[in-house]
Amino acid sequence: MKHTRTYTTIFLLLLLSACSGFLDKEYDASLSGEKVFGNQTLTREFLANIYTNLPDGIAGYSDDQFLGASRDCMTDNATSFWGLHYYNKINTDAYTAADHPLLTFWNTDFSGIRKCNIYLTNARATVVGNAVVDGDDNRLHDRYRAEARLLRAIFHFDLVSWFGRAPILGEDENGNPIILDMNKQEEMNLYRLPPDEVLAWVAAECDSVKNRLPFRYANEEINWGRVNGAAAYALKSRALLYRASALNNPDDDRTRWQEAKQAALDFISANAAHARPYALYGDYQRCFHEDPVNNGEIILARSIWNTNRIDLQLLPPGFTGSVSGAGRTNPTQNFIDCFEMANGRRINEAGSGYEAARPYDNRDPRLEAIVFHHGSRWGRADQGEERLVDVHFNSATDKGADYRESMGGTYTGYYLKKYVNPSLILKAPQSFPHVWIIFRHAEILLNAAEAINEADGPAEAYQYVNQVRARVGMPPYSGMTREEFRVRVRNERRVELSFEDHRFFDLRRWRAYDGVTAQNELSKPLHEQLLNMYGVQVSIAGSSTVYSVTGPPGTQGNDMDLRVFNNPKNYYFPIPDSEYKRAPNLGQNEGWEARE
């Protein structure tokens, strides 16, 4: 295959950026390649622009009509209140490859890969500079090239996560970065490789750059948001964890779990040896809204959005002032029930101490950090805005302020709290720095725990999950079988990493939907059900508050849609129909072939 390496006018899709720092620099897409790569500043800006293609779970909140909720609404963790949100129809498998609304990930990732290869082809040491100096800018040209390679690996990983098989657009047989000629169909008509091959390539790319980048930048205020050596170690850990999991390892090759284990331990060792190691943030709730630049748990995040849009889209609708909450993301009762009691027992275990009349008492503290429930206290007391969340419903004329309004409300009795800044003043709203976390230290610890358990059993795995639990005062795990620990560590990921785009992929890589139907899972505890969504109806009877679990259609008559998962179809999104028709060698994912 012949690949063009000529300087051409480079057209880029620039995303609106509301962040601060060097990576905000907008690149002028009308400039010729010769002008860009013959200029040090423009070369740096081209590289900075590649970061706009990174995964971003915050940008969607600016589209309240179709995307203004957490993507965990595509999982058992939550549902979306707003009927027009795309997630609702995805949950019922109502789209085709021609009209599926979230296939933009395909173009975003391929655009990012193309940008990386254009940079790797054209950036020059004589322009950028490659001197040996002290600090972050040592061998700057080499460092920038390592950044571009790592970004390219991230985009390949993202493609595999959403779409399964993918082409590898690294270097050709001559060692030149592959830049496809978009106007030549024969170049675009690529064959996709199996996910495990792509993930192995991603891991190898991480190895090739992890020691060419600073593990952490000395000046993180200037370089915050850039990929570093730690991000390379983190990506390798996640890629090999996915590669070892059932979706990509159907023959259960145990050596893959050993590789995933080692990748996580390599991060932990390199981190421990660093003068400023990454560590769990002291307060779980504050981790997601305090100063992100000085948050030593965040390894890589996508930009800083200075906004209150995410806060208002999540806040219960009864909180009003000059702005109001919309409450579009509703955590499910399935999710609430996955939180252990403070003593470490499941709510349905003997000796847990769980009381149905006081369902939120003495639970894992992360429940209060993540979810607004009836009786949650929120609002600035010094501004006269503090009160208790009220989602009770006795009748259309007797309901709580936070139950439902015309533009927002709850189907489940819950709202998402995790990203809402408690400093928000509704009568005089201000903006706060929000970031989309791509890698953080807690994930690596949980990767290690899962991989070690699968490779060798739980004995050496406890220490890593117990660090995560200790932050919130939860008792440590011990004395479990491999199977028992597997269940617990998966639940720990569900709680700790909730609403960070992990649950969607975790359920799929574990092949959790295999053999599951809405009917045959009804006998399971709520937290184990994947297709039947539940909520709570709160009513007031005199001085008593009554919590009644509501279920999917056909059970207790909830107005949530029943989830549909067609196996194997819904383990991946489809290849965009227009791309498949233009390049039929790509093939289509199973089950997404055009309907007759």
Helix (H) or strand (E) run with residue 548 in it: strand 544-550
* CA-angle at 308, arms to 303 and 311, nearest 5°: 100
Q: Establish if 113 belongs to a structural domain.
A: no
Instruction: Supply the pLDDT for residue 14.
Output: 28
Neighbouring residues of 119: CB distance < 8 A, sequence distance ≥ 6: 43, 46, 47, 50, 144, 145, 148
Choice among 24-28, 54-58, 115-119, 428-432 with the minimum mean pLDDT:
24-28
Count CB neighbours of 366 within 10 A. 20
* SS3 state at 537: strand
Choice among 6-20, 264-278, 323-337 with the minimum mean pLDDT:
6-20
Instruction: Supply the pLDDT for residue 407.
Output: 82
Instruction: Supply the pLDDT for residue 13.
Output: 28
For the cut 50, the answer to whether the pLDDT of residue 596 exceeds it is: no
Instruction: Supply the pLDDT for residue 463.
Output: 98
What is the residue range of 352's domain?
Answer: 69-100+309-430+513-565
Q: Give the C-alpha separation, 227 to 213, whole Å.
A: 8
Instruction: Supply the pLDDT for residue 541.
Output: 92
Choice among 272-276, 415-419, 551-555, 574-578 with the minimum mean pLDDT:
551-555
Q: What confidence tier does 18 reach under pLDDT thresholds 50, 70, 90?
A: very low
* Percent residues over pLDDT 90 in the chain: 87
Residue 205 in contact with residue 28, Cβ under 8 Å?
Answer: no
Instruction: Supply the pLDDT for residue 24.
Output: 45
Q: Give the C-alpha separation, 442 to 283, whole Å.
A: 13
Instruction: Supply the pLDDT for residue 303.
Output: 80
Count CB neighbours of 19 within 10 A. 19
Q: Which of 518, 517, 465 is nearest to 496 (CA)?
A: 465
Q: Which of 336, 341, 492 is nearest to 410 (CA)?
A: 336
425-438 pLDDT per residue, tens: 999 999 999 999 99
Count of structural domains, the chain: 1
* SS3 state at 186: helix
Contacts 24+ apart (CB under 8 A), 470-475: 471/280, 471/281, 471/282, 471/284, 472/284, 472/364, 472/365, 472/366, 472/369, 473/342, 473/365, 474/340, 474/342, 474/344, 474/364, 474/365, 475/343, 475/344
* Token pair recorded at residue 493: 């990921």
Instruction: Supply the pLDDT for residue 558.
Output: 55
For the cut 60, the answer to whether the pLDDT of residue 165 exceeds it is: yes
Q: Give the C-alpha separation, 67 to 313, whole Å.
A: 11
330 φ, ψ (degrees, to nearest 5) = -115, 100
42 φ, ψ (degrees, to nearest 5) = -70, -35
Residue 238 in contact with residue 157, Cβ under 8 Å?
Answer: yes
Choice among 18-22, 340-344, 362-366, 539-543 with the minimum mean pLDDT:
18-22
Neighbouring residues of 596: CB distance < 8 A, sequence distance ≥ 6: none
For the cut 50, the answer to whether the pLDDT of residue 370 exceeds it is: yes
Q: Establish if 585 belongs to a structural domain.
A: no
Residue 369 in contact with residue 562, Cβ under 8 Å?
Answer: no
For the cut 60, the answer to whether the pLDDT of residue 15 exceeds it is: no
Residue owning tokens 């996709």? 192
Better-scored residue on pLDDT, 29 or 33: 33
Q: Give the C-alpha separation, 453 to 438, whole Å.
A: 24
Instruction: Supply the pLDDT for residue 595.
Output: 59
Q: Establish if 483 belongs to a structural domain.
A: no
In degrees to the nearest 10, what's the CA dihedral of 218, 219, 220, 225? -100
Q: Establish if 387 belongs to a structural domain.
A: yes
Q: What confidence tier does 555 reach under pLDDT thresholds 50, 70, 90?
A: low
* SS3 state at 403: coil
Q: Give the C-alpha separation, 352 to 342, whole Å.
A: 9
Residue 464 in contact with residue 448, Cβ under 8 Å?
Answer: yes
Better-scored residue on pLDDT, 26 or 471: 471
In degrees to the nearest 10, what's the CA dihedral of 581, 582, 585, 586? -80
Mean pLDDT of the chain: 92
Instruction: Supply the pLDDT for residue 187.
Output: 79
Better-scored residue on pLDDT, 182 or 367: 367
Q: Establish if 23 belongs to a structural domain.
A: no
Q: Give the C-alpha separation, 119 to 89, whole Å.
A: 39
Instruction: Supply the pLDDT for residue 29.
Output: 59
* Token pair recorded at residue 547: 């919590």
* Token pair recorded at residue 148: 């571009």
CA distances from 357 to 31, 360, 366, 539, 540 (A): 66, 9, 20, 12, 12
CA distances from 76 to 71, 129, 513, 526, 534 (A): 11, 50, 11, 10, 9
Q: Give the C-alpha separation, 390 to 409, whole Å.
A: 11
DSSP string, 90-136: HHTT---TTT-TTTHHHHHHHHHHHHHHHHHHH--HHHH-----SST
185-219 pLDDT per residue, tens: 777 789 999 999 999 999 999 999 999 999 999 99
Residue 403 in contact with residue 410, Cβ under 8 Å?
Answer: yes
Q: What is the mean pLDDT of residues 473-483?
A: 98
Q: Establish if 292 belongs to a structural domain.
A: no
Q: Establish if 141 belongs to a structural domain.
A: no
DSSP string, 433-486: EEEEEEEEHHHHHHHHHHHHHHHH-STTTHHHHHHHHHHTTPPPP-S--HHHHH
Instruction: Supply the pLDDT for residue 180.
Output: 85
Q: What confidence tier does 251 reach under pLDDT thresholds 50, 70, 90?
A: very high
Q: What confidence tier does 8 reach under pLDDT thresholds 50, 70, 90?
A: very low
Instruction: Supply the pLDDT for residue 108.
Output: 96
* SS3 state at 298: strand
Residue owning tokens 């998962």? 565
Q: Give the C-alpha separation, 346 to 49, whole Å.
A: 47
Residue owning tokens 């082809």? 121
The predicted model scores a pTM of: 0.94
Q: What confidence tier does 498 reach under pLDDT thresholds 50, 70, 90?
A: very high
Q: Establish if 336 belongs to a structural domain.
A: yes
Q: What confidence tier does 137 reach under pLDDT thresholds 50, 70, 90?
A: very high
Instruction: Supply the pLDDT for residue 31.
Output: 62
Q: Give the C-alpha separation, 253 to 127, whole Å.
A: 47
CA distances from 327 to 194, 275, 332, 503 (A): 40, 42, 13, 21
Neighbouring residues of 184: CB distance < 8 A, sequence distance ≥ 6: none
End-to-end CA distance of the chain: 34
Label residues 487-496 b or e (16+ Cβ within 10 Å = b). Answer: ebbbbbbbbb
